[in-house]
Structure 1
Amino acid sequence: MEMKVVLVTGGSSGIGRSIGNYLGEHGYKVYGTTRDLSKQSDFGDFDLLELDVRKPETIEEALRKLMENEGRLDVLINNAGVGITGPLEETPNDAIHNAFETNFTGPLNMIKAVLPIMRKQGSGRIINITSIAGKMGLPYRGVYSATKGALDLATEALRLEVREFGVKISTLAPGDFKTNIAAGRYHAPLHPDSPYREPYGSTLKMIDEHVDQAGDPVLVAHKVVRILRDSSPAVHYKVGSFMQRFSVLLKRFLPAKLYERLLRNHYKL
């Protein structure tokens, strides 16, 4: 059986690295991506390509190298992303634009680039890594929730558009996992005179505590393999603690104001 070739964006750390390593252990040929290859001289887990999902020219060059080496691409894992927190009123527009460029437009750039390859092959799999935070509007994470929610909806449309080409697309929404996301997350400045200073500060602390206490990101990788082995994958998948997954179910069935009250109580707002 021919080894499947996988490209994992944002593969040099965190969830992407866990996915790449686990797929490699299970018989896949893995390529990851990183924005600056010069900073990854000690990385030896799997092959890395330099790529910035915001820059189509870097995507084109990375795919050229991959196809030159392998001649095919079977799986794209759209994992590259950026965290962002802050009161919506005080979050600078350039930070909002960068979040959407990375978390929404970036994955679409990747999909646009790989679809001609997969269409020619007559097969392909794409998994868009979204977030449980994208299933609801969370306080002080509104921009992040919006970027991931937008990718959820775009995936639903894409599945309908590419089905006839033999390309299967799903989303996988992780909850909190122990990664270095907090170190790279954009935080809107916590101004001393801001009317949001106290609730934003306490919410930010809670978010970081949840990440510190979270599970191993290899659990996301386990889910990725199960999705890839499913010949008829679902539209959306979730992975995380019971309460994180249950919160999505609650939103579906509870009246909106009651669900909002639960969120207010949780974040003490």
Structure 2
Amino acid sequence: MKTDALPKKVVLITGGSSGIGKSIAEYLQKKNYMVYGTSRNPEKFTDNSVPLVALDVTDKETIGVALSEVLQKEGRIDILINNAGVGITGPLEETPEDEIKKAFETNYFGPLNLIKAVLPQMRKQKGGLIINITSIAGYMGLPYRGIYSATKGALEITTEAFRMELKDFNIQMTNVAPGDFATNIAAGRYHAPVREESPYNKPYSVTLKVMNDHVDAGKDPELMAKAVYKIIRTKNPKGHYRVGEQLQKLSIGLKRILPDKVYEKMLLKFYKL
């Protein structure tokens, strides 16, 4: 059963200045939500129709300041969408530890700290919805994307636990896992360099091209916006949603039913390894 969206519900979405986040923010704004996006440098995006507040998900102090700013203006936060994230690629053996930690700080600890910060307000309101944008990559260990998969998989699993812990407070939480979308995420990724002397030189180069080609040919981010809008209008959202190419969504189901070695061979073929 669906519920009509209440006018002017307050939405805070991290990473709302570009890509999937911007598409979701603009779409919800058109649907009569009061939407605030976030950016580390909102002054750079003067043409945004959605107001941006300064927030760095890796900095707890800015999280507190941003939430206070929205609450001062609106008095409530009905929906938090944890969308900000970073990509990271490279051979696991060669990816610098500090880059691995940065990816986890942005993709996992950032959303976790935002959730912790907003929960007291949602309890005070006696309700709220938190949507975590994860990735289909979080359901499987992908070659040369192992760290990215791990960060998104960690958030998926943490959400499952949160849903049970929050059941008494009328606070709902769900994951939305996108596949490849036509955004600038590939350009913004940390790419471990393709080193001439590396034993991974050839396979990493091949896989990197496959990954970038998939993003370039990805779907329109508005598809994600429509999916998020539908979830918001759903009375009792599920724990997991997947949005993207049918083959990418199917890959999750195949992992459940195929023997490990068969599934591994399927991934190797897909990435031309």
C-alpha spacing 1:2/1:264, structure 2 compared with 1 (3 Å): closer
* Structure 2 counterparts to residues 137-148 of structure 1, below 5 A: 137-148=141-152
* C-alpha displacement of 1:38: 2.9
Q: Percent identity?
A: 59
Find out whether 1:186 has 2:190 as its counterpart: yes
Work out which of the residue numbers 13, 16, 21 in structure 1 matches 2:18: 13
1:243 alignment counterpart: 247
1:34 to 18, 31, 39: 39
Once the two structures are TM-superposed, the CA of residue 224 in structure 1 deviates from its matched residue by 0.2
Once the two structures are superposed, residues 193-238 of structure 1 have per-residue CA deviations (whole angstroms, 9 ceiling, x without a partner) of 0000111011101111001111100000100011111101100000
The equivalent of 1:107 in structure 2 is 111
TM-score, with length taken from structure 1:
0.98
1:64-103 map, 5 Å: 64-103=68-107
Deviations 1:159-205 (A, max 9, x none): 01111111000000000000011111000011110000111011101
Per-residue deviation, 1:139? 0.2
Q: Secondary structure at the match of 2:182?
A: coil
Verify the 8 A CA contact 2:159 2:174 in the aligned structure 1.
yes
Q: What letter corresponds to residue 42 of structure 2 in structure 1?
A: L
Can you list the C-alpha shifts for 1:35-75, whole angstroms capped at 9, x where unaligned? Answer: 112322x2322110000111110010011110010000000
User: Do 2:82 and 2:130's aligned partners in 1 also have CA atoms closer than 8 Å?
Assistant: yes
Residue segments in structure 1 that go unaligned for 5+ positions in a row: none
Tell me whether 1:126 sits opposite 2:120 in the alignment. no
One-letter code of the match for 2:219?
Answer: G
Superposed CA RMSD: 0.8
Q: Tell me the secondary structure at the aligned position of residue 89 of structure 1.
A: coil
Whole-angstrom CA distance in 2 between matches of 1:181 and 1:22: 20
Deviation at 1:268, TM superposition (A): 2.0
Distance 1:85 1:176 in 2: 15
Output the CA distance in 1 between the equivalents of 2:7 and 2:264.
50
> For residue 63 of structure 2, what is the aligned residue in structure 1?
59
Match of 2:3 in 1: none
Off by >3 Å, runs of 4+ in structure 1: none
Output the TM-score relative to the length of structure 2.
0.97
- Identify the residue that residue 222 of structure 1 maps to in structure 2: 226
> What's the CA shift for 1:266?
1.2
AA partner of residue 111 (structure 2): P
- Picking from 229, 236, 240, the partner of 1:232 is 236
Tell me by how many angstroms 1:27 deviates: 1.2
Displacement after TM superposition at 1:2 (Å): 4.6
1:55 is matched by which residue type in structure 2? D
> Which stretch has the larger CA shift, 246-255 or 92-101?
246-255
Length, aligned pairs only: 268
Aligned to 2:160: 156
In structure 2, the gaps of 5 or more residues are 1-5
The answer as to whether partners of 2:144 and 2:204 remain within 8 angstroms in 1 is: yes
d(CA) in 2 for partners of 1:132, 1:166: 27
